[in-house]
Amino acid sequence: MTSTARIIEQLLLPAECLVCHALLAERDADSVVCPLCRHRWRAVRPPWCERCGQPEPHFGPCRLCAEWPTALTVVRSAVWLSDGAREAVHALKYRGLPRIADDLAVAMAGVALPTDEASVLVPIPLAPKRLRERGYNQSEALARALARRWRIPVVDVLIRSRETPTQTALTPETRLANVAGAFTPGRRPGVNLPATRLVLVDDVFTTGATLAEAARALEQAGARTILGITFGRAVIPDFT
């Protein structure tokens, strides 16, 4: 975000926590969520499926990631999408508060992913119409904030050819069908896809269908190693 946008946002925002409305201490004035609320975010922890990072010990093959493209090897999320974390994502997406991305990226930066110096962050794109409506892509805001912490670049190598209908059906299979063909590879300025570790960045992981479909498009374009990271992980009701 530009410094002008940041200044305007600071003028418009009260110096209080977005979630609990406690006044922010001066040293936290750069944050949108107070340290106490951030402390309440519940980290996603193992035991989990080594590939998709879904907790609950699995017996037999994991249903969530069974249909994923081969190149998508590791996906992790920072925190469970419980009350405070859900509000923070909502503010990032719908209240025009891209500055909150910095607070969310603090939690994401602590996630262990096998990245190296040849890794790049790839935000999940929005379709052009939605991008115009929202004015910014929340996944790109997260990727840029995370890139400052991890010191790896952000590259836009994906195009969203269509926005997908809001996903109300909850089975992994239905969700995969829902996003089929939603992404196509875009320009790749200076990026050698086969040699680069691509780290997809999104705000929320529900069944991983969006990440899987984006990975499928990149794999078809030549990418061999794709990872994924999201801030939140939704609890899937009755998923076994």
Does 37 engage in binding with Zn ion (CB under 5 A)? yes
Q: Minimal distance in Å, beta carbon 26 to Zn ion? A: 16
Position among 24, 32, 34, 104 found at the interface with Zn ion (CB under 5 A): 34
Instruction: Report the C-alpha gap between 17 and 171 in whole angstroms.
Output: 35
Nearer to Zn ion, 72 or 126 (CB): 72
Enumerate the β-bridge partners of residue 68. Answer: none
When asked if residue 211 is in the footprint of Zn ion (CB under 5 A), the reply is no
Q: Which of 5, 8, 15, 20 binds Zn ion (CB under 5 A)?
A: 20
Rounded distance between C-alpha atoms, residue 229 and residue 45, angstroms: 14
- Picking from 151, 155, 154, 179, the residue whose alpha carbon sits closest to that of residue 165 is 179
Q: How far is the CB of 110 from Zn ion (least distance, A)?
A: 19
Contact 156, 184 (CB under 8 A): no
CA angle 62, 225, 71 (to 5 degrees): 40
| Contact map string, positions 95 to 124, toward Zn ion, x by CB under 5 A | ------------------------------
E strand residue ranges, 90-193: 119-123, 158-160, 183-185
Tell which one of 24, 44, 64, 78 touches Zn ion (CB under 5 A).
Answer: 64
Stretch that binds Zn ion, among 26-34, 115-123, 159-167, 192-200 (CB under 5 A): 26-34
Residue 51 interacts with Zn ion (CB under 5 A): yes or no: yes
Q: Return the number of other C-beta atoms located less than 10 Å from residue 39's C-beta.
A: 9
Determine if 52 is a binding residue for Zn ion (CB under 5 A).
Answer: yes
